Amino acid sequence: MSGPSKYQPSSAVGKWFHERLPIVAFAKDHALDFPTPKNLNYWWTFGGILAVMLVVQILTGIVLVMHYTPQTDLAFNSVEHIMRDVNYGWLLRYMHMNGASMFFVAVYIHMFRGMYFGSYKAPREVLWMIGVIIYLIMMATAFMGYVLPWGQMSFWGAKVITNLFSAIPFVGDFVTTWLWGGYSVDNPTLNRFFSLHYLLPFVLAAIVFLHIWALHVVGNNNPTGINVKGPQDTLPFHPYYTMKDGFAIVVFLIVYGLFVFYGPNYMGDAVNYVPANPLVTPAHIKPEWYYLPFYAILRAVPDKLLGVIAMFSSILILLALPWLDTSRVRSGTYRPIFKGFFWVFVVVCIGLGFIGSKPPEGSYVLWGRILAFYYFFHFIVILPLLGLLETPKPLPASISDDVLAKQK
């Protein structure tokens, strides 16, 4: 895709180094010269935004760990020590806490963008699947991070989620005890979650590298969904997309900053400012907002084991998405019927999130089941059939043609 390297070492030392480790050439080819479709819109900037958020989370997290104590009697107070006594500790902690939410805001937009423009279709199946794995690890990391302040929702959230594994036939109880490191959520659980919460972001960084590698093998998809046909369709990544992504990143940071500085606890749960108490169950146990759609699917199924299977399937089904969508046309722009179903699917996901935040009673139960059913129906029935039945609109001849036509 990227062709022969344009890097020419300009000094003798540079040449000597290049012959031994061509890392400068690699950086130049992939971060500066990489040919990128010229028609990427702002929905494509969320990849860069996500990279920035991962770095923000790792940096703030490393400093927070310098002041945090992973011990059940001390954890809650050590977080408050950060908030009260550590220089700018409140800033680090609020950045990290809201950073997790903003990370998920960005990843959801990034995923829906991929779904709308068919970025998972050949030849980008592996790129997409690596993305799904990143998303899974993100969820695990965020879940374990939420346990660390050892507030009421930390404790009870950990209890509910780890209890899901007890639904596994025959070995369920054994697995749960093994996860806990004891017979309930306690100090060993907190310690291992802390260890893994520190480890997983670096695993994530490594898999993000694979994600970008896979991206650079096949090249970016684009809003028309058609292939790049030649140099007239592309621009070098720098300065065009470094500037466009950079601008979007700064705008995203403004939104992030509004939450950090003016509504730092808006996305959290007030109950988590009460220290964990194994003897008092909070009135409504609910996870952070970014898990709510899956929590709704879990509760939509009356049977515990089947509920757990449904919840995990609702994420794992994304791995099969490249083969469930039978349409040859990538971009939703040229698929009039798909477009409608896409937006219904977005509304269904938001609806599931809403149901997940409510107690499972009254009409919420019925709506939860309808929406959960539709979630799977979209993937298993609508997408395969649509590809066969729908007549797509004519595609532009090339990316460059499309850009020029739009400029008129």
Partner 1 sequence: MKKFTMLLIAGLVSFTGASFAAENATPAKPISFSFEGPFGTFDKAQLQRGYKVYKEVCSNCHSMRLVAFRNLADHGGPGFTEEQVKALAATFTVKDGPDAEGNMFDRPGLASDRFPSPFPNEQAAAAANGGAAPPDLSLITKAREGWHGTFNQLWSNIGGPQYVYSLLTGYEEPSEEIKKETPEGKHYNPYFVSGHFISMPPPLADGQVTFDDGAPNKVDDMARDVSAFLAWTAEPKMEERKQLGFMVLIFLSVFAGLMYFVKKKIWRDAH
| Interacting residue ranges for partner 1, rule: CB under 8 A | 38, 77, 80, 83-84, 90-91, 94, 235, 239-240, 243-244, 246-247, 250-251, 253-254, 257-258, 260-266, 270-271, 273-274, 283, 337, 340-341, 343-344, 347-348, 350-351, 354, 358-359, 362-364, 367, 400, 403-404, 407
What are the phi and psi torsion angles at 247 (to 5°)? -60, -45
- Separation of alpha carbons 115 and 332, rounded Å: 8
Contact between 79 and 72 (Cβ < 8 Å) = no
DSSP assignment of 143-157 equals: HHHHHTT-BHHHHHH
The rounded Cα 310 to chain-centroid distance in angstroms is 20
Nearer to partner 1, 260 or 329 (CB): 260
Nearer to partner 1, 209 or 343 (CB): 343
Q: How far apart are CB 278 and partner 1 at their closest, in Å?
A: 13
Q: How far apart are CB 251 and partner 1 at their closest, in Å?
A: 5
Nearer to partner 1, 267 or 305 (CB): 267
Nearer to partner 1, 143 or 342 (CB): 342
Residue 309 DSSP SS3? helix
DSSP assignment of 232-255 equals: GGEEEIIIIIHHHHHHHHHHHHHH
Q: How far apart are CB 198 and partner 1 at their closest, in Å?
A: 25
Nearer to partner 1, 127 or 296 (CB): 296
Residue 35 DSSP SS3? strand
Nearer to partner 1, 80 or 125 (CB): 80
Q: How far apart are CB 101 and partner 1 at their closest, in Å?
A: 13
Q: How far is CA 69 from CA 79, 148, 164, 209, 238, in A?
A: 8, 9, 27, 31, 43
Burial class (CB in 10 A: 0-12, 13-18, 19+), 239: exposed
Nearer to partner 1, 18 or 81 (CB): 81
Q: How far apart are CB 197 and partner 1 at their closest, in Å?
A: 23
Q: How far apart are CB 250 and partner 1 at their closest, in Å?
A: 4
The rounded Cα 182 to chain-centroid distance in angstroms is 31
- The residue with tokens 């695990």 is 140
- Separation of alpha carbons 9 and 89, rounded Å: 45
What are the phi and psi torsion angles at 314 (to 5°)? -65, -25
Q: How far is CA 92 from CA 84, 102, 261, in A?
A: 12, 15, 11
Contact between 236 and 33 (Cβ < 8 Å) = yes
Q: How far apart are CB 85 and partner 1 at their closest, in Å?
A: 9
Nearer to partner 1, 165 or 256 (CB): 256
Q: How far apart are CB 41 and partner 1 at their closest, in Å?
A: 12
Nearest to 27 by CA among 40, 39, 17: 17
Q: How far apart are CB 380 and partner 1 at their closest, in Å?
A: 19
Nearer to partner 1, 256 or 294 (CB): 256
Contact between 215 and 127 (Cβ < 8 Å) = yes
